[in-house]
Amino acid sequence: MGHVHVLGTDIFSENIAAAREKFGENDHLSFAVMDKNGSIPRLKGKPYHLMFCAFVLDTIPLWSDLVSLCQNMVGALTPHGELYLLRLHPNAFAGSDLFAEYHLKPNETPQHGDSFTVELRNDRSSISFLDTFWSPQHLGDLFTHMDCTVSSIEIRVRQVPDDNSEALQEILRNAGVVLEGREWQVPLFQILRIIKSD
């Protein structure tokens, strides 16, 4: 497969500092703070074969900013390059206590562009933040208009997607998504798989 280099990015310098401390940097791994304007850092000016984003899209409150970011991500891919976007499945909003750690209000599925509050808790602290729901249909249309092929992979606990299952399993593990434990009756995570045309 040749030389593989992974670049981890975040808009928060504190997260990049923590990643560097935890993983270090070497010929195969580096980290960079991403501009808040959505420009994508490049490794030696070259495009990427694969990009993975976990829970990024819903943190962007304006559709115009989200469109710019998505255009930048697709523009940073090689022809036939792949972009994987991990996000909450719309089902996560629909059931009572399906996704307790996010403390979402049950049976209040937001519409495209609606804001919702997420509260994450552990034994020591909690944090609340405002996210925006972007519908899978609108996102799919956006990437299709960029001449990309779009598909959706639904994730349940212990469920491993058929497509590139080993790579996706590793990506999900590194993103902190635990694929062990009881299986939900409905998928609560979704991966949008975008393949750039030539």
Q: Look up the pTM and report it.
A: 0.75
Residue 172 has pLDDT above 70, yes or no: no
Residue 182 has pLDDT above 60, yes or no: no
Cα–Cα distance, 146 to 148 (Å, whole number)? 6
Cα–Cα distance, 92 to 105 (Å, whole number)? 10
Average pLDDT along the chain: 77
Cα–Cα distance, 87 to 134 (Å, whole number)? 10
Lowest mean pLDDT among 70-79, 110-119, 126-135, 166-175: 166-175
Domains and CATH numbers, the chain: 35-91+135-196 (3.40.50.150)
